[in-house]
Structure formats: C-alpha cells, structure tokens
Amino acid sequence: MSVHGVRSLNVVVGITGGIAAYKAVSVVRALVLGGHDVHVVATENALRFVGRPTLEAISRNTVHSDLYEGVAEVRHVAIGQAADLIVVAPATANTVAKLAAGLADDLLGNTILASTAPLVIAPAMHTEMWQNAATVANIATLRQRGVTVVGPAVGQLTGADSGPGRMSEPEEIVEVALRTAAGRQDLAGRRILVTAGGTREPLDPVRFIGNRSSGKQGVALAVAAADRGAEVTLIAANLEVDVPSTVRVVRVRSTLDLERAATSAAQTADIVIMAAAVADYRPETVADAKIKKDVQGDVLDLRLVKNPDILAGLAANRRPGQLIVGFAAETEPDDAKLRQLGAAKVARKGADLLVVNRVGWNEGFATEGNTVIVLNQTGDIVGEASGSKRSVADRILDLLPHSI
Ligand code: C5P
C-alpha cells in the first residue's frame, strides 16, 4: 500500500519504560496516518506508563510485550525479520545499555537483534544519566554501528529540572526515522559550512557583549546535513548544545574569530549557511585588566566600532558555484514588514537564500521550535517551515539543491 506515492513500511515501534512513553503514542499515530503498518513492541515497564488499549487502538495492531507469547510462530524473531524500520521511543538509559551490549532478555531486545532494518532510537532520561560516562560510551557504540540517535532535546524534564535528556518531539522522531529508512543521502559529496551560536565581543578578560542565540538551529542544520551525507564543518560560537561527532567543529568566540574561521573554511565549501548571530559592533578597545567601578565612577562610556559583515564578504568573494545562505532574526511583529526587511537584506548581502525568523523575549532564541520563511535573491518566498528546529533544518536543506 502507498499513501501519496510513499512506500508503506512495516514499522516496529519499541516503547520502553520512561515517562516519555506517553509521547510514543503520537509517534505511532503519525506513522499510522502516514500509511505505515505499525507494530508496537512494548516492555513491561512501558505498559506501566501507557495502556495497551491505547496503543492497540492507535496502532490498529496487537501490541506485543511477552517473550513467551506466540512461541509456535517464533514471534521473538518474526517481528524483527518482518520490519523495514525499528524506532525505539523513548529509549531509556537501561535500554540504551542493553542495545549496546546486544542483550535480548525481553521481546524488544530479541526483535532488534533479529532484525537487519535501520534502527532509530530517541533517548529520554535525566541529564545526569544522559551525561554519565556509561551512557556516553553506549551511545557512541550504537552510533558506530549505524544506529540513528534522535535527540535528546534540551528542555523541561519530568520534575522541576531541565537540561539535555528530554525526548525529541514525535514529529521530529518520525521525520528522522522515515528519512533513515529511505536512506536519503541527497547531500552526499557536498561540503557544507554552517556557523551557529552567538558571538561574544570582549570588553576585558572577564566580560563580553553577547546575544541570546543558543546555536540550536545552526546545530540542527549541521546534524541534518551530516545525516543526509554531507561533509559538514560547523563553526561554533559559544554553543549551549552538544554536537555529535558526525560534524567537524571549529570553536570560536568573537566575530573576528568567526570571520577568520569562516573565510578559511569557505574556501572548500560548496554551501555556506550563516546561522550564527553575529555581533554588529564590538568594543573599540579591549582592556588588558578587569574594568574597575571605583576607577570608572557612576558612568562607564563604551565606544563600539562596526564589525565586518562576514556574510556579505563571503558572498562577494564566493567560489564559482558556491551557494550562500544567510539568516535574519528580526523582532518586527508584522508579517508583511518582516518579509520586506528580509527582501532588502538578502539583496544587500548578496546571499542566494535568506532564512527569516522572528525573535523576541520568548521567541526564536533558545526555544525548541522555530518558524521561518525562506526568501531567494529577489525576495520571493521559496519555502516556509514551522516545527522542531530539526524539521525546519531539513526543510531548509530540501530547498538547497533546487536553488543551486
Ligand atoms: O544584518 P543581520 O545581522 O540581520 O544579518 C544576519 C545575517 O548576516 C546572518 O546570516 C549572520 O550570520 C550574518 N552576519 C554576518 N556578519 C555580521 C552580522 C551578521 O555575517 N557582522
């Protein structure tokens, strides 16, 4: 069966015992609505968090959890053998460890070991568990074996705490999973330079002028491009997020550092994506020692000088055929005016595409989601995207090959 020309897949959704199991229901639903045949394999602990009837109603299939059920039909291997794709969401620290060790003490473990289908896992756990050396090593082992790891996202956890460990949003998991199943490597052979984060302009050895960019959208672009086969260099300015080892990272702090690194890396890049929030001005002088208030008195005058516009510089000196993508973060509330600002900016900077998003106190920066429009050189809208930063990243990348 196929829906909208997309091949219908036999998808096993493995659900393990974490609170994020309730969000697995949305993963199952999205896959079913996408026309796929979904078989849930839940651990006993997962069924403490989400009920079997819910999963059966949503998946439209029997939910399997018991290793000793269906022995005559060798169910412990049959489910895995029939699968085109296995998605484990959430994957607890315990499950991640079991997968890394190749354990098969429950139906899900057997199913995964018996399968040659692509495996996508969406870890969900407390930050301490995610950052524990055992989990870090287990995740590295799984990645090395070709397992696709989605997230985890940074955000509110079960209790009052927040940090990395929150399961990625269902739409993102489904998107990555389907892309993995399709083996989409449409950027294979492309060299992509991405800048991400926010520059910091030093005032003295301990202070800087900075901005609120977390780097999440730029990192999502770099990771998505790497997942799609590109050779990615990420110039990272003061990131608040981790970067997987599929991406080569060059760390920078100030705009002038970023300019040097970007100018050098752009010499071999086919595509340059300037997602970093770059300071327009920097202090004219940087004090050698900490600026003292007892010396300065009640008022401190700072003189700022303009930074080079790196994007405009790269666009003006581009290699033949190189595609240059800029970003514009604007606080303008009106949609039409936002677009006008973007159209003027793309022309002024000489970029091929400009990704325009709205930012504000609670919008754009450091959030999990994003809403963007993408303009071409003449200011026409060539694409729009809204959703997780990963899905926005994939949508932006979808627009690239057609624009070169
Ligand atoms: O002019 P504005 O700062 O809005 O432009 C944003 C775009 O230009 C982003 O792609 C940003 O990375 C880039 N930029 C730059 N150098 C600057 C300021 C912004 O490359 N000095």
Q: Can you give the CATH number for the domain in which 51 is found? A: 3.40.50.1950
Catalytic: which of 138, 211, 238, 307? 211
Side-chain half-sphere CA neighbours of 197 within 13 A: 22
Q: What is the pTM of this model?
A: 0.71
Residue 170: give the domain boundaries.
2-182
Strand (E) or helix (H) holding 96? helix 93-101
Domain presence at residue 404: no
> How many other C-beta atoms are found inside a 10 Å radius of the C-beta of residue 266?
24
Q: Is 59 found in the same domain as 175? A: yes
Pairing verdict, β 207-209 and 201-204: antiparallel
Single-letter code of the amino acid located at 242: D
Q: Look at the chain and report how many structural domains it folds into.
A: 2
Domain presence at residue 48: yes
Domain presence at residue 239: yes
Q: Is 195 found in the same domain as 119? A: no
> How many other C-beta atoms are found inside a 10 Å radius of the C-beta of residue 324?
24
pLDDT in tens, 51-72: 999 999 999 999 999 998 888 7
pLDDT at 246: 86
pLDDT at 5: 39
Q: What is the mean pLDDT of each run of 10 residues along the chain (404 residues)?
A: 58 97 98 96 97 97 92 85 94 98 96 94 96 96 91 83 90 94 85 98 98 95 92 96 92 98 98 98 97 94 97 97 96 94 97 93 79 96 89 89 50
Q: Which atom of ligand 1 is found nearest the CA of 330?
A: 4
CATH number, domain with residue 211 = 3.40.50.10300
309 lines ligand 1 (CB under 6 A): yes
Q: Is 7 found in the same domain as 128? A: yes
**Ligand 1 atom 2: residue of nearest CA:** 328
Show Cβ contacts of residue 125 under 8 Å, excluding neighbours closer than 6 positions: 18, 92, 93, 135, 152, 165
Q: Is 319 found in the same domain as 219? A: yes
pLDDT at 156: 78
Task: Count Cβ atoms within 10 A of the Cβ of residue 77 and give its class: 0-12 exposed, 13-18 middle, 19 or more buried.
Answer: middle
Side-chain half-sphere CA neighbours of 30 within 13 A: 17
How many A from CA of 345 to the centre of ligand 1?
A: 9
pLDDT at 403: 45
pLDDT in tens, 180-193: 998 777 898 999 99
Domain presence at residue 248: yes
Domain presence at residue 57: yes
pLDDT at 401: 62
Q: Which of 147, 182, 217 is the last residue of a domain?
A: 182
Of 280, 309, 354, the residue with max ligand 1 atoms within 8 A of its CB, to mutate for a pocket test, comes to 309
pLDDT at 27: 98
Q: Is 233 found in the same domain as 104? A: no
Q: Is 203 found in the same domain as 111? A: no
Q: Is 222 found in the same domain as 154? A: no
Q: Is 175 found in the same domain as 55? A: yes
**Ligand 1 atom 17: residue of nearest CA:** 309
Q: Is 32 found in the same domain as 57? A: yes
Q: Which of 117, 149, 182 is the last residue of a domain?
A: 182
Domain presence at residue 34: yes
Q: Is 155 found in the same domain as 226? A: no
Q: Which of 128, 161, 182 is the last residue of a domain?
A: 182
Annotated active-site residue 211? The verdict is yes
Q: Is 94 found in the same domain as 195? A: no
Q: Is 93 found in the same domain as 176? A: yes
